Structure 1
Amino acid sequence: MRLNKTIAFATLLTQLVFGQNNTTIIRNLDPVSEEYTFPEIQTAPKTKIGEKINIFLQLHYLQHLPGVFKKTPFEKVSYNSPENQGGTYLFYGWTKEDTPPNVLSLTMSTEFSGAYIEGYETHENYDLRTGNYLLVTDIIRSEKHTSLAQQVNTMVKKEITAFLSETKKNLAEIDSISQRELFDRYQEQIELYENCLSDYTEYQLGDFDYYFTKNQLHLLRGRCSSHVNRAVDDLYQFDLPFSYADLLPLLSDYGKNVLYDTPIKNYNSAQPIGKMFKGKIGNNAVTFVLPNINYDNSLTITYWYDKYKKPIECHGTFKDNNFYFREQSADDFSGLIGIIEADWNNGTIKGVWINHKTKKEYPIVLMTY
C-alpha cells in the first residue's frame, strides 16, 4: 500500500493548533527555500513545549541545537558546506496531520544524497501537553505489544502474497515477445516479493514508523525494495490504519489519556525514553535527550553542557532501569573518554560520569524537563 501524500513547498507558512490551555504555531524555519522547508514550533503560554520539540527536531535532522550555527541552520546538512559532516539532506516540506488535540503529528518530506539520491517521508509525533515524543510503545499496554505487532506483520504478508498471486496470473496471460517490457517487469516483481517473503523480518512494535490522524493510528512497515529495484515496487511502503475505537482495549492509561482525555494522575509516560532531562554532571549544568530505545535494549543518547551547547553522542544500554553509556572522542580515533552509569527512578536519573583516563567520578543528577 503506497503512502500517497504530496507535500508542496511552503504550502502554509503558518498553522495554528489550539490545544488545552495552549496554542501551537507552526512556521517554516528561516531561511525558507524550495530545498529547505523545515517546521519551527512556537507554543504559548507554555513556551517550554515548543522549545523542546524544536530541540528534538533540529538535533535529529539538522545536527545542532536551535540557534547554534554559524551562518544558516541547514549548514551541517547542505551540499558543499564546510560544516557538513556527512551526506546532504534536503527538506521539501512538511504537513501537520489532523489529530486529537493532545497530539502533534508531522510528516516530513526529505531527500538524502550520499552514494545515491533517496527521497522518503518521516513522521514525528509529540505530546502537545509536555513536548515529549509520543511513542507507540507508550500508548499501547506492554503486554499487548507482541500481539499488535504480529497482527501488522500478518497483514503485510497477506498483502504481499495477494499481490504476488495476481502478478503471477498476469504474467501467465501476456506474450513474452510482443509485451516484453511488461513481461520483464512482472518477472522482476515476482522475484522482489518472493525474496521479501522468504527473508521477511518480523517487526516488533517499536520497529514500526507511525503517525496519528483524527481517528486512526497508522503503523508503517518499510518497503520490500532497495534503491536499485525501487521502480518495480508497486506496493512500496505499507500503511496499516487502526481506529482508536478498535485499539481501545489495547491502550494504556497514558494512551487513553492522550487520545481520549480520560483522567490520569500523571500524563507523563512511565519510561524515560522520548524525554528530555536537565541537571548537572558535577557542578556543570547539562541537558540530556533520550529519543528512543531498540528491542535489544541498546540506544543512543545526546547530551550537552548548557554553557557550550555542543551535542555529545553516547552509545549504550538501558535495562532494568539502569543506564550504561560509553562516550567516545568526537573524531572516533582518540578512544574512550568517559563512562556513564546511572539509574532511572520515578522521573529522576542519578549516577556517575567516570573519566576513563583518571577514573575520577562526577555525580550525575537529572530531572525530567
Structure 2
Amino acid sequence: MDIKFSGLNLANLIVDPMYLLKRAFFLSIFFLSFLVGNCQKKNFEIVSLEMENNFSFPVFSKSNDTLLGNKINHLLQLTELELLHGYEKKNPFERVAINLINPIPGKEMIQYSIYQNNARLLSFSLAQSFCGAGCTYWCSYYNFNPENGELIHLKDLFSPKGYEVFIQKLDQKRIAVFKQWINKQDSSKREEFEGIPTCYEHAPNTDYYIKNDSIFIDGSICFGKNLMYSNLDPITSFHKKELKKYLNDYGLLVFGFKKGKLTTYHSNHLPQLFTGKLADDSIAFILSQPQNGNLNGVYFNKTTGQCMQLRGGAVKEGIKLDEFDEEEKPQGSILFRFNNQNLIGIRFTKDKKQRQAFEVHP
C-alpha cells in the first residue's frame, strides 16, 4: 500500500547552485535502476512509502516469510527514518524530513535504487540529501542475505587474506584512475584534490553494491564538495572473475561460483539488527561501531513508540551505552555483555533508581 503525503514547501530553502543538476543526476540513476530491476526475477516484493516527488522509501516483503521482511525493514527504517513504519503518528518521514521535524534542517530527498533482488542477494542504495543553509548529498548502500535477513559487510565476502589483497587492488585501481584525471586538471586546482589517494588508503570501504556479475565500490567519502561536481567517477568496479580467488565460501555462493544454503552464514561485523525485550516491552535494537572505535546504537520501543539514540563504549563491566531522546536529552543507560550472539544486561533510568532487564538476539 503506497503512502503519499503533500504539503512540503521548499521555496524558502537556501541550496547549492548545483542543486538541480545534482538532483537530476540522482533521479536519473533511480529511474535507470528501476527499469533494470524490473527485468530481473524478484525475490522480495517491494512497496514504496512516498511523499510528493522527493521521498520514495522501499518496504520489502515475502509472502511465505513475514519475519524475514520485517528484519530487513526494521534495520533500514530505524537507521534512516528513526522509527518503524506502522508506529508513526502521521507520516513515516516525520522524524527526518525537512519541514516535518523543523523548518530546517532535515532530509530533503530519499530515492532508492535496486541493483539486485534474487535468491542470492538483496542489494540497493538510498540517494539522499540533507538541507540546512546548504545541501549535502550522499548514497547509503545496503546488502542483505536474503535467507536470514542479515546485513552483509564487504569483509563478509572475502577470506581474511583475500580481503587484504582485494583492498590493495582496489587502492591501485582507484589511484591509477585518479592520477589520469588529476594530470588533466589545471595546475592551480590540483592542490585541493591531492589528499584523495591518502584518503583512499584509509577509507572504510563500507559503501558498495553488487549488480549482475560485478561489485561496485563507491569512494565518494573521499570527495570534497567541489569534487562531487567533477567528472571523476567515484565508483570502482570488479567483475566476479577478478574476485574468485579472494572470496570465502559465502562470497562464492553470493557470486554464483558454488551452490548451497545462505541461511547458515552470519556476519561478524556491525551494524546489525537485534530484537528482544526491555522489561516486558518488545524492542528493535541496532548496534553499530563508527570509525572512532566507540559503539553507537538505536532502539525502538514498540510499546511506547519511543526511539532512543545510544552512544558509549566498553567499560570494566561490559558495554555501556547512554540513551538520548529525539531532543538529545539524556534518558538513562544500558549496560550489557555479549553472550554468544545475544546481548544481555540491564537498563538504568537517568536517576539510577529503576532497573529493567534487557535482552536481545540477532
Match of 1:156 among 165, 174, 180: 174
Q: Secondary structure at the match of 1:129?
A: coil
Asked if 1:57 corresponds to 2:76, the answer is yes
User: Counterparts in 2 of 1:14-93, with a 5 A limit?
Assistant: 18=41, 23-29=43-49, 31-81=50-100, 83-84=101-102, 87-91=105-109, 93=111
Q: Which amino acid aligns with 1:221?
A: G
Q: Secondary structure at the match of 1:128?
A: coil
Q: Secondary structure at the match of 2:193?
A: helix
Deviations 1:173-213 (A, max 9, x none): xxxxxxxxxxxxx245423333434x535235x43310011
Partner of 2:231: 234
Partner of 2:6: none
**Structure 1 residues 99 and 64, CA gap change in structure 2 (3 angstroms):** closer
Partner of 1:310: 306
Partner of 1:171: none
Partner of 1:353: 347
Distance 1:222 1:37 in 2: 22
Q: Secondary structure at the match of 1:73?
A: coil
Match of 1:301 among 292, 297, 300: 297
Q: Which runs of 5+ in 1 are unaligned?
A: 168-185
Q: Secondary structure at the match of 1:276?
A: strand
Does the Cα contact within 8 Å between 1:281 and 1:362 map onto a contact in 2? yes
Distance 1:280 1:262 in 2: 37
Partner of 2:17: none
Does the Cα contact within 8 Å between 1:287 and 1:305 map onto a contact in 2? yes
Partner of 2:283: 286
Q: Which amino acid aligns with 2:77?
A: Q
Does the Cα contact within 8 Å between 1:18 and 1:101 map onto a contact in 2? no
Distance 2:346 2:212 in 1: 44
The normalised TM-score by structure 1 is 0.77
- Worse overlay, 218-227 or 102-111: 218-227
Partner of 1:208: 206
Partner of 1:194: 194
Q: Secondary structure at the match of 1:161?
A: helix
Q: Secondary structure at the match of 2:190?
A: helix
Does the Cα contact within 8 Å between 2:54 and 2:108 map onto a contact in 1? yes
**Structure 1 residues 137 and 272, CA gap change in structure 2 (3 angstroms):** closer
Return the offset for 1:105. 1.1
Quote the RMSD (CA, aligned, Å).
Answer: 3.4
Q: Which amino acid aligns with 2:360?
A: L
Largest Rg, 1 or 2: 1
Does the Cα contact within 8 Å between 1:282 and 1:363 map onto a contact in 2? yes
Q: Which runs of 5+ in 2 are unaligned?
A: 1-24
Distance 1:60 1:153 in 2: 29
Does the Cα contact within 8 Å between 1:342 and 1:350 map onto a contact in 2? yes
Q: Which amino acid aligns with 1:139?
A: L
Distance 1:336 1:302 in 2: 13
Does the Cα contact within 8 Å between 1:16 and 1:26 map onto a contact in 2? no
Q: Which amino acid aligns with 1:37?
A: S
Q: Which amino acid aligns with 1:214?
A: N
Does the Cα contact within 8 Å between 1:328 and 1:336 map onto a contact in 2? yes
Does the Cα contact within 8 Å between 1:223 and 1:235 map onto a contact in 2? no
**Structure 1 residues 310 and 17, CA gap change in structure 2 (3 angstroms):** farther
Identity rate, percent: 18
Match of 2:217 among 219, 239, 252: 219
The normalised TM-score by structure 2 is 0.78
Return the offset for 1:296. 4.9
**Structure 1 residues 309 and 86, CA gap change in structure 2 (3 angstroms):** farther
**Structure 1 residues 24 and 100, CA gap change in structure 2 (3 angstroms):** closer
Distance 1:110 1:76 in 2: 15
Q: Secondary structure at the match of 1:6?
A: helix
Does the Cα contact within 8 Å between 2:312 and 2:322 map onto a contact in 1? yes
**Structure 1 residues 10 and 142, CA gap change in structure 2 (3 angstroms):** closer
